[in-house]
Amino acid sequence: MTDTSYADALILFGITGDLARRKLFSALYDLTAAGHLDMRVVGVASRGWDDETLRRQAREALEASGRPIDETVFARLAANLSYVSGNYREPGTYQAILEKLSGSVRAVSYLAIPPGLFEDVVEGLAAVGLNGGGRLVLEKPFGRDAQSATELNDIIHRHFPEGQVYRIDHFLGKEAVQNLMIFRFSNTVLEPIWNRHYVRGVQITMAEDFGIEGRGSFYDKVGTMRDVVQNHLLQVLSLLAMEPPVSDDPDSLRDERAKALSAIVAPTPDAVVRGQYVGYREEPGVAPDSDTETFTAVRLELDSWRWAGVPWIIRAGKGLQSTVTEAVVEFDRPPRPLFADADCRPSPNRLTFRTKPDDGISLSMQAKKPGPAMVSRPIDLHLEHDRPKGRDAYDRLIGDALRGDPGLFARQDGVMQAWRVVDRALADGRSVVPYSRGSWGPAEADALLGTDWRWLTT
């Protein structure tokens, strides 16, 4: 059962790391400004910082983000910040954390650290009693395959039951991704056509025009499939494919996401293409004979009453032609072309959900082309989201963890279903195929579309 009592403390393991500098300090500031972080915030890491160093680093991170700083808000945040320097494997570290918390009984522990340290931290928290009424927030990756994910869950569940575990995927905290659910289930016009009878296929793309950006030693152990497909993109698929939940209760939402993932048929080797951009092996930290993919395309099908026979194609990669993240739902063509030029058949309707480079939803329709001829032309009806200024997905997700709302976090069953799909996609052992930087990936991926379809993101 989920405890929805508000937390009384926040512990951030890995507070000296890159994620804290880029995202977490900003989220803490925004939560403080909104009045949601009036509690002790203890940062923990091995560096020899003290309280004042932590506060200075927080200010510098906020200044580097370019945001204006309200001194009253920052003073409130700084007053709550404190630091513990210690080894995650030393019992004294957790005793020092406990002393900083001043009698906390419902602390949220956020582990922004490598998964290899999770066991040490979970055991340390339990040793001083911080697991009893507390919650545990875990950064991805949740393992590197189904077996390691199972082992990781076993470690965590020794001291934190599933209802107290929050696996964070920042994609689910994005405004545009959350709007997938609102758009689907608050507009009755979509429901009659949101099925195999009217949808021709779905393409989900996460393309980046940059490479691994100095992260070679990390990325070469992970690859695109584990880095973004197993979590971000399969979560987007689940939001598009899920059945209407029985309520807006967090577990009702997660039930349907997990069901959608469980309906995915494990892909065959011919349904997976792994690519690697030319020059990747020369990147610092990358093995000279690396077979790690920087591009993945996979064709999936869902064995469900709603989606049987509809292709779902996921494409993700680095070093591609542009940076764009979007999902495109393409509908069937009309049964016969009317009002069409003899040499140009009208395009089918498409509904596009985009999160990069801008947030928005577009519906491609056909309307009359101006002039005397009775022919159609494509037009786009576009909704552009206004991103809340200065706010980020981490603000929303940390706030939800403090409130005890797990709706936008991954649950164990959903994570394991995603690993089932990814493990199968990686099991074939075929070598990566090369592609040029600035392209849309290897030509071999085109075969996943069949003979009468094309890529919808270009």
8 A C-beta contact, residue 275 and residue 316: no
In the structure encoding, which two tokens stand for residue 419, read together?
A: 């690993």
Q: HEC states along 258-317?
A: HHHHHCECCCCHHHEEEEEECCHHHCCCCCCCCCCCCEEEEEECECCCCCCCCCEEEEEE
Beta-sheet strands, E only, within 301-440 = 312-317, 324-331, 350-356, 360-368, 376-384, 433-435
Angle between helices 51-64 and 25-33 (to 10 degrees): 90
The region that residue 193 occupies, defined by phi over 0 for left and psi between -120 and 50 for alpha, beta otherwise, is alpha
Helix, coil or strand: residue 446 = helix
Place of tokens 């005793």: 95
Place of tokens 């928005």: 360
Q: Are 441 and 432 in contact (CB under 8 A)?
A: no
Active site (annotated) includes residue 170: no
Catalytic residue selected from 197, 232, 382, 385:
232
Tokens matching residue 256: 């349907």
Q: Which residues pair with 376 in a beta bridge?
A: 368
Q: Where are the alpha helices (DSSP H) in 87-191?
A: 91-101, 118-127, 146-157, 175-185
Active site residues: 232
